[in-house]
Amino acid sequence: MPDEADNAEINFELGIDPICPLKIGFKEGCVSDRPERFDVIGSKFGEFLIFEKPPKVLSESYLGAPDGMPSVVKAIRENPDKPEFQRFGASSPFAVNQIDYECSGASIIAFGKERAAEMRNAMWSGLFTFEYLVLAKDLKAETPEEIECSLPIYKPENQSKWRVSHAFGKKSETKFLLLDKSGDWKLWKAATKAARPHQIRIHAAECGIGIASEKMYSKTPPPYLSKIKKGAYRPPKNSDEKPLYDDIAIHLALVKYDGKCAGLSGTLGAAAKLPKGFSAALKKLNLKYSFPLPKSETNTFTVLPAPSAKA
Burial class, 309, CB count within 10 angstroms (exposed 0-12 / middle 13-18 / buried 19+): middle
Question: Which residue, among 83, 63, 61, has the nearest Cα to 74 in the 3D structure?
Answer: 61
The SS3 of residue 252 is: strand
DSSP 3-state percent helix, strand, coil across the chain (nearest 5) = 15, 30, 55
- What are the domain boundaries of the chain? 10-286
107 beta partners: 51
Residue type (1 letter), 61: S
What's residue 289's pLDDT? 80
Q: What is the spatial distance between Cα 172 and Cα 169, in angstroms, rounded to a whole number?
A: 9
| Interacting residues of 31 by C-beta distance below 8 A, sequence separation 6+ | 57, 58, 70, 71, 72, 75
What's residue 51's pLDDT? 96
Question: CA of 181: how far to CAs of 35, 103, 177, 245, 301, in Å?
Answer: 36, 21, 12, 17, 26
User: Per CATH, the architecture of 10-286 is what?
Assistant: 2-Layer Sandwich (3.30)
- Which runs of consecutive H residues, i.e. helices, occur in 154-287? 199-206, 225-228, 276-285
What's residue 107's pLDDT? 97
Q: What is the spatial distance between Cα 192 and Cα 115, in angstroms, rounded to a whole number?
A: 22
* Cα 1-99-57 angle, rounded to 5 deg: 115
Chunked into runs of 10 residues, the chain (311 residues) has average pLDDT values of 49 77 95 96 93 97 90 96 94 95 97 94 94 95 93 92 95 96 95 94 97 96 85 69 95 90 80 94 90 41 35 34
Per-residue b or e along 93-129, where b marks 16 or more CB atoms closer than 10 Å to that residue's CB:
bbbbbbbbbbbbbbbbbbbbeebbebbbebbeeebbb
What's residue 280's pLDDT? 94
pTM over 0.85: yes
Q: What is the spatial distance between Cα 244 and Cα 281, in angstroms, rounded to a whole number?
A: 5
Q: Specify the pairing of strand 93-95 against strand 209-211.
A: unpaired
Q: Look at the alpha carbons of 181, 144, 146, 250 in this order and tell me if their dihedral is positive or negative.
A: negative
What's residue 26's pLDDT? 96
- The neighbour count for residue 244, using CB atoms within 10 Å, is 24
| Interacting residues of 184 by C-beta distance below 8 A, sequence separation 6+ | 137, 138
What's residue 302's pLDDT? 32
- Which runs of consecutive H residues, i.e. helices, occur in 155-275? 199-206, 225-228
- The neighbour count for residue 92, using CB atoms within 10 Å, is 15
